[in-house]
């Protein structure tokens, strides 16, 4: 086991690539496990589990966010 950091020129390129490849696959695996997506029961769009659907504003069949009202809020210009 190396006690000190190994200089870059001492390590071969394939050896470094192997290590970085392992890091990449590990990071991707962690990212894929971080967010669980599911299909919305009402509109079929992808949504995060236990969260309100951003497409239709429903959660568990119940209307939580009135999407029409939200759109009006955004498009309404105050003079």
Residues near Zn ion (CB under 5 A) are: 40, 42-43, 53, 55-56
Cα–Cα distance, 60 to 14 (Å, whole number):
50
If the CB atoms of residues 24 and 39 are measured against Zn ion, the closer one turns out to be 39
Q: How near is the Cβ of 55 to Zn ion at its closest, in Å?
A: 4
Whether 67 and 54 have beta carbons less than 8 Å apart is answered as: no
Q: How near is the Cβ of 70 to Zn ion at its closest, in Å?
A: 14
Q: How near is the Cβ of 22 to Zn ion at its closest, in Å?
A: 38
> CA 29, 11, 13: angle at the middle one, nearest 5?
60
């Amino acid at each position: 086991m190396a006690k000190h950091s190994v200089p870059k020129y001492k390590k071969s390129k394939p050896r470094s690539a192997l290590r970085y490849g392992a890091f990449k696959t590990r990071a991707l695996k962690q990212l894929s496990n971080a967010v669980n997506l599911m299909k919305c029961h009402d509109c079929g769009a992808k949504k995060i589990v236990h969260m309100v659907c951003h497409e239709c504003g429903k959660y568990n069949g119940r209307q939580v966010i009135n999407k029409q009202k939200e759109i009006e809020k955004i498009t309404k210009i105050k003079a």
